[in-house]
Amino acid sequence: MSTKEEIESQIMDLWDEIFDLDDKSKEELEAKYAEWREVEPLLDEGIDELVIHIESMKGISDESMLVYKEVKEIKIRYKQQKDEIQAKIDALNKEKEKI
């Protein structure tokens, strides 16, 4: 059985992984948004407005839809990874409480 200090260290390591994922996600999305701006002039108005526009499916190019889908996949992938790490943190916190 681990000590509280060992569990707290593991939790801190997992939080570091989450922060690293946030940074990687941001970098990947910024690169994808730059690519998207080349094919979708509406991006200058803002990402949220464009997503609403795309989801209403009015006059969006195939290229823009492809990048939109890639952006969505990136967000889903990073969220799943962070959720998995958060579940580990929660389990460690429960273990720590038992000590």
Per-residue model confidence as pLDDT tens digits over 13-36 = 999 999 999 999 999 998 988 887
Q: Which of 99, 85, 92 is nearest to 7 (CA)?
A: 92
Question: Using one digit for the tens of pLDDT, what is the confidence trace for 44-93?
Answer: 666 666 666 666 666 667 787 788 889 889 999 999 999 999 999 999 99
| Whole-number Cα distances in Å, 62 to 36, 40, 54, 58 | 11, 10, 11, 12
Specify the pLDDT at position 90.
96
In sign, the C-alpha dihedral spanning 88, 70, 38, 60 is negative
Sequence spans of domains, the chain: 4-94
Would residue 59 be called left, alpha or beta, if left means φ above 0 and alpha means ψ between -120 and 50 degrees? Answer: left
Sequence letter at residue 28:
E
Q: Which residues are CB-contacts of 8 (< 8 A; sequence separation ≥ 6)?
A: 96
